[in-house]
């Protein structure tokens, strides 16, 4: 029965037509401090939901306070760990899979900053969370990055380091692994080939402009990633709902960057989100 539960939840996370996943994350305040795009958080979530993503990632407290009005409109991904501004390589667990079941989540997620001083504890936590998820039929998402102390900042996009992270996630029983885009399609394809689990990319701070983010999304999908999950890039944009719609069109309807930019301009003018 647990496997049936996982299959049901996974079917809500992954679009059956595109076989891709689209999620927006709003779990940044623990790790990065209060960011203007998340003030007020309820209004930001409302704008995201209006663009109809597959899922939104948030912590349990924000879910209890801000998610009830949107329950059933998108999947809830319950974030159960975080690092902090004063300890950025240690992702600390503060929830479990049972909370995800009680709150109606379609997945729980946990982070890890690999190749550093806290890797052993984070691997242990992922392994224990995987055990809980397997017994409860709950998909597990890992936010796994090569950001430990042994990795220089310029090496965080090396495909070998990212491949290590995603393969480690698969070895530990993670169903969907969120990580960083390497910067080019060839090396990202090698990352995907190294991992039998679904790999999705973050937005992060790897790009500088709207065009860069849209092109990264298009390239990542074309080389085989299983989806895209973004945060700051989306909710720091002037028209959050329009950008969510446009990303959904790229991810699920194979829009080109050119088509996406044209639609974005149109939506920013007419605000006709519901018809797309």
Closest among 103, 167, 163, 164 to 136, alpha carbons compared: 103
Class of domain 2-275: alpha beta
Q: Is 249 a catalytic residue?
A: no
Query: What is the model's pLDDT at position 63?
Result: 98
**198-225: per-residue pLDDT in tens?**
999 999 887 889 999 999 999 999 999 9
Find how far residue 95's CA is from the centre of its chain: 18
**142-174: per-residue pLDDT in tens?**
999 999 999 999 999 999 999 999 999 999 999
Q: What is the mean pLDDT of residues 61-79?
A: 98
Asked if residues 93 and 107 have their Cβ atoms less than 8 Å apart, the reply is no
Return d(Cα 26, Cα 231) in angstroms, integer: 6
How far the first Cα of the chain sits from its last, in Å, is 37
Model confidence band, residue 25 (pLDDT cutoffs 50, 70, 90): very high
Q: What angle do CA 80, 17, 78 make, to 5 degrees?
A: 10
**Which of 145, 181, 213, 255 is flagged as catalytic?**
145
Closest among 208, 217, 207 to 259, alpha carbons compared: 217
Query: What is the model's pLDDT at position 207?
Result: 84
Question: pTM of the full predicted structure?
Answer: 0.97
138-150 exposure pattern, b = at least 16 Cβ within 10 A, e = fewer: bbbbbbbbbbbee
Q: Is 181 a catalytic residue?
A: no
Return d(Cα 185, Cα 62) in angstroms, integer: 36
Q: Are strands 176-179 and 140-145 parallel, antiparallel or unpaired?
A: parallel
**Which of 20, 147, 178, 255 is flagged as catalytic?**
178
For the chain, the domains span 2-275
């Amino acid at each position: 029965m647990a496997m049936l539960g996982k299959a049901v939840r996974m079917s809500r996370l992954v679009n059956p037509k595109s076989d891709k996943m689209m999620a927006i994350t709003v779990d940044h305040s623990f790790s990065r401090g209060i960011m203007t795009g998340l003030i007020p958080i309820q209004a930001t979530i409302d704008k995201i939901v209006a663009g109809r993503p597959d899922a939104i990632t948030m912590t349990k407290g924000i879910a209890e306070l801000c998610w009830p009005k949107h329950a059933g409109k998108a999947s809830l991904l319950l974030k159960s760990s975080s690092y902090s501004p004063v300890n950025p390589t240690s992702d600390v667990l503060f929830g479990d899979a049972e909370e995800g079941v009680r709150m109606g989540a379609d997945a729980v997620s946990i982070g890890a900053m690999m190749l550093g001083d806290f890797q052993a504890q984070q691997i242990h936590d992922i392994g224990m969370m995987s055990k809980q998820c397997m017994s409860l039929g709950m998909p597990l998402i890992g936010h796994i990055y090569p950001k430990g102390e042994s990795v220089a900042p310029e090496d965080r996009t090396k495909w070998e380091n990212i491949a290590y992270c995603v393969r480690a996630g698969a070895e530990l029983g993670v169903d969907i692994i969120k990580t960083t885009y390497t910067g080019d399609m060839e090396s990202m394809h090698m990352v995907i080939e190294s991992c039998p689990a679904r790999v999705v990319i973050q937005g992060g701070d790897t790009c500088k402009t709207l065009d860069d983010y849209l092109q990264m999304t298009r390239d990542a999908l074309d080389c085989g990633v299983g989806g895209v999950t973004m945060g700051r890039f989306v909710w720091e944009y002037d028209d959050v709902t329009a950008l969510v719609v446009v990303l959904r069109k790229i991810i699920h309807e194979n829009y080109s960057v050119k088509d996406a930019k044209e639609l974005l301009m149109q939506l920013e003018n007419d605000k006709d989100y519901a018809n797309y």
